[in-house]
Structure 1
Amino acid sequence: MIDINAEAEKSLSDVKCKAVFQYPKNFNNLPIISYYTVTECGGFYADNDESIQDGHIQIDIWAEIPKECSDLAAEVNEVMTKDSWVREMSMDIPENDKKIYHKTMRFQKYFTL
């Protein structure tokens, strides 16, 4: 079994801002990206052995300015698709009372074991 979070972290290492696992501890140094596994499962089996793993991750972008979210989303999409991830969706999350803008994205990738 492949560690999907480690694969996502490797892919996100080319993004210009900090990427953290699961959820930012604080929002003092925005923008920041967080990521975590949504699902992972066997993608293909032969002779009762898993040969392909299917992984889905969520990436959240947090910023003080809406344009930062959009610009980072484009950058995240570029680095992830360059590394064979497929974007399943992205959407803006409604603004909260802290004036932190939030965009969420989900990506999928098959891994050969």
Structure 2
Amino acid sequence: MTINQEILFALSGLSVPVSFQTYSGKADTYITFFTYLDKAEQHADDREVATGHYVQIDIWSRGDYTVLVQEVHNQMEKAGFQKISFTDLYEKDLKIYHKVMRYLKVKEASTWPK
């Protein structure tokens, strides 16, 4: 399963739309996500054996998103993601609240022999 599939699966039970990078629907509250860094986390015998997938979940809302933030966090933790940082923003040009949630998941590198 790709990292994007893992995120979509983890957040599939939420009551808001979730999409990769952009959202073009009409909902007032929605989630987008992307990977901002993939890097080697562990090496053995001069080969990468573990890859760190650093992802950002963005919650966009015209109202209070506090409950949704907790739901997202719970689901990401259940899926094995580790919290890095959360940031509250307000996008003045769009007049929308924006919660940035960053996570890390370390997975076995796909290049490692099975």
* TM-score where L is the length of structure 1: 0.84
1:44 alignment partner, one of 42, 45, 48: 42
1:84 aligns with 80
In the alignment, residue 53 of structure 1 is paired with which amino acid? T
1:95 deviation in Å?
Answer: 4.2
CA distance, structure 1, for counterparts of residue 52 and residue 103 of structure 2: 11
Q: Is the 8 A contact 1:4 1:40 kept in 2?
A: no
Alpha carbons of structure 1 residues 92 and 55: separation in structure 2 relative to 1, 3 Å: same
Q: After the TM superposition, which parts of structure 1 deviate over 6 Å for at least 4 consecutive aligned residues?
A: none
List runs of 5+ in structure 2 lacking aligned partners: 110-114
Task: Please list every run of 5 or more consecutive structure 1 residues that lacks an aligned counterpart in the other structure.
Answer: none
Identity of aligned residues (%): 30
Q: 1: CA distance between counterparts of 2:77 and 2:66?
A: 16
The structural deviation recorded for 1:49 is: 2.4
Q: CA deviation at 1:97?
A: 4.4
Matched-pair contact (CA < 8 Å) for 2:41–2:51: yes
Cα offset, 1:98, TM superposition = 3.7
Alignment match, 1:72: 68
Q: Number of matched residues?
A: 109
Between structures 1 and 2, the one with greater helix share: 1
Whole-angstrom distance in 2 between the partners of 1:41 and 1:90: 21
Separation in 1, partners of 2:15, 2:107 = 25
Does the 8 Å contact 2:90/2:96 carry over to 1?
A: no
Distance 1:54 1:95 in 2: 29
User: How well do the aligned residues superpose, as a CA RMSD in angstroms?
Assistant: 1.7
SS of the residue 2:69 aligns to: helix
Which residue number in structure 2 is paired with residue 102 of structure 1?
98
**What residue in structure 1 maps to residue 112 of structure 2?**
none
Deviations 1:81-105 (A, max 9, x none): 1111111111111242443221111
